[in-house]
Homo-oligomer: A and B are copies of this chain.
Amino acid sequence: MSGPSAPKTKRGAARREALLRAAEAVIGEQGFAASSIADITRRAETALGTFYIYFSSKEEVFRELVLEMGRLTRGGVTQAVQGASNRLEAEKAGLRAFLQFAADRPALYRIVEEARFIDPEVYRAYYDSFGKAYAAQLKRAQEKGEIGPGDPEVRAWALMGMAIKLGERFVLWEEKPDIDHVVEDAFAMIRDGLAP
Q: Which residues of A contact B (CB under 8 A)?
A: 31-33, 87-88, 91, 113-114, 116-118, 124, 127, 131, 145-148, 150-151, 154-155, 157-166, 168-170, 173, 181-182, 185-186, 188-196
> Are B151 and A169 neighbours in the complex by a CB distance under 8 Å?
no
> Are A150 and B185 neighbours in the complex by a CB distance under 8 Å?
yes
Most chain B CB within 10 A, of A182, A191, A195, is at A195
Option from B113, B148, B196 in Cβ contact (under 8 Å) with A195: B148
Residues of B within 8 A of A189 (CB): 150, 154-155, 158, 193
Q: How many copies does the complex hold?
A: 2
Option from B160, B165, B194 in Cβ contact (under 8 Å) with A147: B194
Answer whether A166 and B157 are a contact pair too, CB < 8 Å, given A150-B189, A192-B195, A195-B191: yes
Option from B32, B164, B191 in Cβ contact (under 8 Å) with A161: B164
Q: Which residue of B lies closest to A87 (CB)?
A: B194
Q: Pull 15 A–B residue pairs with CB atoms less than 8 Å apart, ordered by A.
A: A114-B117, A127-B169, A146-B196, A148-B194, A151-B185, A154-B166, A154-B182, A155-B185, A157-B169, A157-B170, A158-B162, A158-B165, A158-B189, A189-B193, A190-B193
Q: Which residue of B lies closest to A146 (CB)?
A: B196
Distance, CA A84 to CA B114, complexed state (A): 36
Q: Which residue of B lies closest to A188 (CB)?
A: B150
